């Protein structure tokens, strides 16, 4: 299921790690745009439940994804949650993280679990039009 | 990096040259006097050749070079402007167009096509020159095929025209060297966005200063009261003339003086005087504050004025004449007319009217739909036209006029028009109106915007079944615009599009509903009224009386499937124009009107079609911009006459409702393999739309879905009379007893848990579909 094909013979690869409840997720580090404190977030009427809300960020509006509604995860506490904003398909989306995301570097030979392939995530969970 | 930058500049420029080529080529006509057009095409090809060579786009340059050669020969009357010449030039233009399009997407030039064009052009020139009556001028070298490849790698050689070009340059040279510069459109976008943000902040500032004014007024009032009270108090106590002579403070020092030789100061006297002094200071301070505030307000107003000017100036840089949009239809009209075997002429009026580039881009598709319809269904063939006494050649006329902040674009064809009687019959047959309904001509015309409604029964390649018109309305509405139609049988059909001249800043009305803030563009609104108890509305959707007609109304909460019975009394109704008719949106409270930037929806949220965008308020709140057309889409669908559907496909139909594409596909394949017809919808709202148009023998639905969840879908189906008996199976990953009970209570017939057992599903389906049959 998880796609590790990008780990070629380049030696090492860096990932950004964030967590929802006890579960850790990884994304490719070059997609990370910034990490922001969540001060105000606005629910989007009509959006599926895995879209927690919309966060205004310097004139842009970032949809925040709650992975706990996608993966079987215990109810997380988003009390001091951060939003990990990523670039994908010329857009920005954010993932809710219970604690501050951090970077790790692995030998590229190591298979990484729970790596989110952003492109396919975007395509799968994008709200599609009617039809 | 530098090369990439150069390429970007080239692409910027090429777009313009391609546009003039397009326009010029469309005007070329064998036998007609079109020197100006030849000149335009020649110049565009020439410039394109030069700039392509600079960025080492040798293929583009070589093709443009040959195009230039041909045009030059025509210009110098060495060869005739034959239709084969136009054809060749057109094919070259199309090749360059597709190369440039490819470059924009990061593709390289296709090198394999160049030889063909070079050879074709050279052979053509040699052939035509021989057959031309006059000898070619001596100084024009006939290009040799062999040199073509050399030209590919060496810089393009100067042609005779280069000299000509230099001669000509001063005339229009200032376009390039004088007072004009080129700016990347992105830069303008950035500036516009910034100015938008500044406007919002400024509006917030104005709002805050109004609050400040209120505070100042309150303080001033209190200050004045204080002044008066203290004044009164002082009059009584500042000096003590106390005739009672109760001198408590008689000092030993004063004993030698007579009583009347001293003012008596007791503590209250001193306090009173101090109080008066302080009050005077406060009063003085307030006066200064007031005048400071007045100056401040004047400054803010002046700044407001400047920002407005700045904004309109910057917006103007993004404005382009609408005629350029119209020009794009030249070729399309020609091609489509040819495909339909009709003769159609395109006329353009008011092309100088300026329009925002963004509006311009987004108008292309809707206009294309209209033009397609006009050619396919509107304009009759030559024979029919002759019989009606019309000129054989049909006409499509584009025109544009500006009315304040709105641009009105009209597309008029002189074809068969819309047959009102037939439209009425069709609407009756479809169950959209009743036989005796009092329906105006305008309301009938409006019906053509409904999905699945077309006055033509056949379906052809370019224009489908009325689906186009529905899309047109939705797209125009997303642009904060409105589309209207008028027609007279056998004479004309005209579409009028009212769109804002710019989308940089929009005027919106902000309201609250369903615990969120929403906005709706003022251009789409007719007025705001209050819901009347006399309307007799009992749920969140229905119809009310508005100016003597029934109009559909719906509350936002109802749309989102809130099943709570709302307190509808005293709610507000925003009456909106949705092209063919008016509808009312019921909202909780109106917050006010403001200027804002509507940002396009994040692509991650694309499918939320009831929003045409989002905005951020000055104090940082996210608001959702409602598109009233999509909000009411489900209610506006016609109810198909079921009899009409009979005989089409008799196998039982199953509607699969799930927000996961893979589940939809999987279940659809499964039921189809069992001999059923499958329909699919991604949420309850879409499912209802389908059920309104198509009969389903069974519905399989998920529970958790965006827009409208499964429970609500079940509730709605059970409340609609002709759908009430449709069996519903819930297929969900929520397997708890609670969900099961709730689903069954709401009206589901059966409950399956994902991942499901195929046999169980087929058993369940068989049970319900057989029962139906």
pLDDT tens string B66-90? 888 888 888 887 888 888 888 888 8
Size of interface A-B (CB pairs under 8 A): 89
Does B247 have pLDDT greater than 60? no
Q: How many CB atoms lie within 10 A of CB B144?
A: 10
Does A7 have pLDDT greater than 80? no
- B541 compared with B613, residue with greater pLDDT: B613
pLDDT at A67: 92
Q: Band the pLDDT of B151: cuts 50, 70, 90.
A: very low
Q: Do A44 and B606 touch (CB under 8 A)?
A: no
Percent of chain B's residues with pLDDT above 70: 82
pLDDT of A9-50, one tens digit each?
457 889 999 999 888 999 999 999 999 998 889 999 988 889
B602: burial class by Cβ within 10 Å (0-12, 13-18, 19+)?
Answer: buried
Q: How far is A53 from chain B (nearest CA, A)?
A: 10
CB B563, CB B710: distance < 8 Å = no
Residues B170, B172, B174, B177, CA torsion sign: negative
Sheet holding B394-403, edge to edge: B344-349, B394-403, B406-413, B492-500, B482-488
- B727 compared with B56, residue with greater pLDDT: B727
| Phi/psi at B493 (5° precision) | -130, 135
Of A44-48, B240-244, B293-297, B396-400, least confident by mean pLDDT is: B240-244
Q: Do B516 and A62 touch (CB under 8 A)?
A: no
Which A residues in the span 71-90 are in contact with B, Cβ-Cβ below 8 Å? 89-90
The per-residue pLDDT of chain B, averaged, comes to 78
pLDDT at B597: 83
Mean pLDDT of B734-749: 85
Does A96 have pLDDT greater than 70? yes
Which B residues in the span 97-156 are in contact with A, Cβ-Cβ below 8 Å? none
Does B721 have pLDDT greater than 90? no
The residue among B483, B720, B519, B527 whose CA lies nearest residue B622 is B519
- B683 compared with B533, residue with greater pLDDT: B683
pTM, two decimal places: 0.56
Mean pLDDT of A73-89: 88
Q: Does B514 touch chain A (CB under 8 A)?
A: yes
List of chain B residues whose C-beta atoms are within 8 Å of the C-beta of residue A51: 604-605
CB B358, CB B318: distance < 8 Å = yes
The residue among B99, B102, B103, B67 whose CA lies nearest residue B86 is B67
Query: For residue A24, what are the contacts with CB-CB under 8 A and spacing of at least 6?
Result: A17, A18, A114
| Phi/psi at B699 (5° precision) | -120, 130
- B481 compared with B235, residue with greater pLDDT: B481
Which B residues in the span 673-692 are in contact with A, Cβ-Cβ below 8 Å? 681-682, 686, 689
Task: For Cα atoms B436, B439, B441, give the angle at the middle one, nearest 5 degrees.
Answer: 135
pLDDT at B509: 93
List of chain A residues whose C-beta atoms are within 8 Å of the C-beta of residue B736: none
Does B48 have pLDDT greater than 90? no
pLDDT at B460: 37
Q: How many CB atoms lie within 10 A of CB B140?
A: 17
- A97 compared with B503, residue with greater pLDDT: A97
pLDDT at B58: 83
pLDDT at B754: 78
pLDDT of B634-692, one tens digit each?
665 443 333 233 334 456 788 999 888 778 888 888 888 887 888 888 888 888 877 87
Q: Does B560 touch chain A (CB under 8 A)?
A: yes
Q: Band the pLDDT of B147: cuts 50, 70, 90.
A: very low
Q: Which of B599, B609, B689 sits opposite A129 (nearest CB)?
A: B609
Q: Band the pLDDT of B565: cuts 50, 70, 90.
A: low
C-alpha to C-alpha distance for B152 and B149, rounded to whole angstroms: 5
Query: Which residue has tokens 């500032």?
Result: B205
Q: Band the pLDDT of B566: cuts 50, 70, 90.
A: low
pLDDT at A66: 93
In chain A, the residue whose alpha carbon lies closest to the alpha carbon of B604 is A126
Structure-token pair, residue B611 = 């929003």
Mean pLDDT of B442-453: 72
C-alpha to C-alpha distance for B629 and B613, rounded to whole angstroms: 14
Structure-token pair, residue B55 = 């960025």
Q: Do B621 and A60 touch (CB under 8 A)?
A: no
pLDDT at A50: 92
C-alpha to C-alpha distance for B710 and B705, rounded to whole angstroms: 7
CB B87, CB B146: distance < 8 Å = no
């Amino acid at each position: 299921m998880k796609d590790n094909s990008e780990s070629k013979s380049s030696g090492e690869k860096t990932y950004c790690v964030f967590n929802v409840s006890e579960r850790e997720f990884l994304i490719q580090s070059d997609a990370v745009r910034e990490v922001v404190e969540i001060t105000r977030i606005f629910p989007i009427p009509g959006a599926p439940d895995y879209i927690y809300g919309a966060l205004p960020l310097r004139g842009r509006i970032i949809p925040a994804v709650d992975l706990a509604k996608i993966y079987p995860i215990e109810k997380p506490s988003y009390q001091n949650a951060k939003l990990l904003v990523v670039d994908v398909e010329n857009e920005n989306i954010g993932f809710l993280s219970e604690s501050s995301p951090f970077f790790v570097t692995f030998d590229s030979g190591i298979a990484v679990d729970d790596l989110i392939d952003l492109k396919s995530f975007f395509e799968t969970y994008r709200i599609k039009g009617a039809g | 990096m530098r090369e990439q930058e150069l390429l970007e500049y080239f692409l910027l420029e090429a777009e313009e040259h391609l546009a003039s080529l397009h326009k010029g080529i469309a005007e070329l006509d064998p036998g007609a006097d079109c020197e100006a057009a030849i000149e335009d095409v020649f110049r565009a090809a020439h410039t394109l050749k030069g700039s392509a060579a600079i960025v080492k786009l040798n293929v583009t340059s070589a093709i443009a070079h040959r195009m230039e050669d041909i045009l030059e020969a025509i210009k110098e009357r060495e060869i005739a402007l034959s239709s084969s010449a136009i054809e060749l030039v057109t094919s070259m233009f199309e090749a360059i167009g597709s190369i440039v399009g490819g470059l924009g997407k990061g593709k390289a030039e296709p090198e394999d096509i160049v030889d063909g064009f070079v050879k074709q052009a050279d052979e053509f020139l040699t052939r035509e020159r021989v057959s031309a009556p006059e000898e070619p001028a001596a100084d024009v070298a006939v290009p040799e095929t062999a040199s073509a490849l050399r030209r590919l790698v060496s810089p393009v050689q100067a042609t005779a025209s280069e000299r000509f070009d230099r001669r000509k340059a001063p005339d229009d040279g200032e376009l390039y060297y004088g007072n004009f510069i080129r700016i990347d459109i992105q830069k303008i976008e950035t500036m516009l966005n910034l100015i938008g943000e500044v406007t919002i902040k400024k509006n917030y500032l104005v709002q805050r200063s109004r609050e400040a004014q209120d505070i100042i007024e309150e303080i001033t009032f209190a200050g004045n009261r204080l002044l008066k009270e203290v004044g009164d108090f002082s009059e009584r106590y500042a000096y003590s003339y106390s005739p009672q002579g109760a001198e408590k403070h008689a000092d030993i020092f004063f004993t030698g003086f007579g009583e009347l030789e001293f003012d008596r100061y007791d503590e209250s006297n001193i306090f009173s005087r101090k109080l008066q002094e302080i009050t005077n200071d406060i009063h003085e301070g307030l006066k200064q504050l007031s005048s400071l505030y007045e100056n401040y307000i004047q400054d803010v107003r002046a700044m407001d004025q400047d920002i407005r000017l700045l904004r309109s100036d910057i917006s103007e840089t993004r404005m382009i004449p609408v005629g350029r949009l119209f020009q794009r239809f030249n070729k399309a009209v020609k091609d489509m007319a040819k495909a339909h075997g009709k003769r159609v002429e395109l006329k353009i009026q008011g092309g100088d009217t300026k329009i925002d580039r963004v509006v311009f881009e987004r108008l292309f598709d809707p206009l294309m739909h209209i033009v397609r319809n006009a050619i396919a269904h509107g304009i009759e063939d030559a024979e029919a036209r002759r019989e009606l006494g019309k000129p054989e050649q049909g006409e499509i006329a584009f025109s544009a006029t500006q009315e304040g902040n709105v641009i009105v674009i009209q597309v008029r064809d002189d074809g068969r028009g819309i047959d009102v009687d037939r439209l009425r019959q069709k609407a009756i047959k479809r169950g959209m109106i009743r036989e005796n309904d009092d329906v105006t001509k305008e309301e009938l015309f409006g019906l053509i915007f409904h999905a699945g409604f077309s006055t033509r029964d056949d379906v052809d390649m370019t224009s489908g079944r009325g689906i186009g018109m529905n899309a047109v309305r939705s797209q125009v509405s997303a642009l904060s615009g409105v589309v209207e139609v008028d027609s007279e049988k056998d004479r004309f059909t005209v579409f009028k599009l009212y769109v804002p001249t710019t989308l940089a800043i929009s005027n919106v009305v902000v309201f609250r509903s369903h615990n969120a803030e929403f906005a709706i563009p003022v251009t789409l609104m007719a007025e705001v009224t209050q819901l009347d108890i006399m309307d007799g509305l009992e749920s969140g959707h229905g119809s009310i009386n508005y100016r003597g007609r029934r109009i559909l109304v719906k509350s936002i909460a109802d749309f989102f499937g809130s099943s709570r019975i709302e307190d509808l009394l005293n709610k507000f109704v925003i009456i909106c124009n949705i092209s063919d008719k008016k509808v009312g949106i019921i909202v909780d409270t109106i917050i006010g009107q403001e200027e804002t930037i509507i940002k396009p929806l994040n692509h991650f949220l694309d499918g939320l079609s009831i929003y045409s965008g989002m905005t951020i308020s000055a104090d940082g709140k996210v608001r959702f911009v409602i598109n009233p057309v999509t909000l009411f889409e489900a209610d506006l669908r016609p109810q198909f006459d079921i009899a009409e559907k009979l005989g089409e496909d008799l196998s039982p139909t199953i509607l699969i409702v799930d927000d996961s594409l893979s589940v939809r596909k999987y279940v659809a394949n499964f039921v189809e393999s069992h001999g059923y017809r499958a329909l699919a919808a991604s949420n309850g709202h879409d499912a209802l739309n389908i059920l309104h148009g198509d009969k389903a023998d069974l519905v399989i639905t998920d529970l958790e879905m965006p827009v409208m969840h499964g429970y609500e879908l079940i509730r709605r189906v059970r409340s609609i009379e002709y759908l009430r008996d449709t069996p519903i199976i819930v297929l969900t990953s929520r397997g708890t007893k609670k969900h099961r009970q709730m689903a069954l209570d709401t009206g589901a017939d059966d409950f399956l848990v994902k991942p499901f057992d195929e046999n169980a599903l087929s058993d369940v389906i068989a049970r319900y579909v057989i029962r139906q049959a």
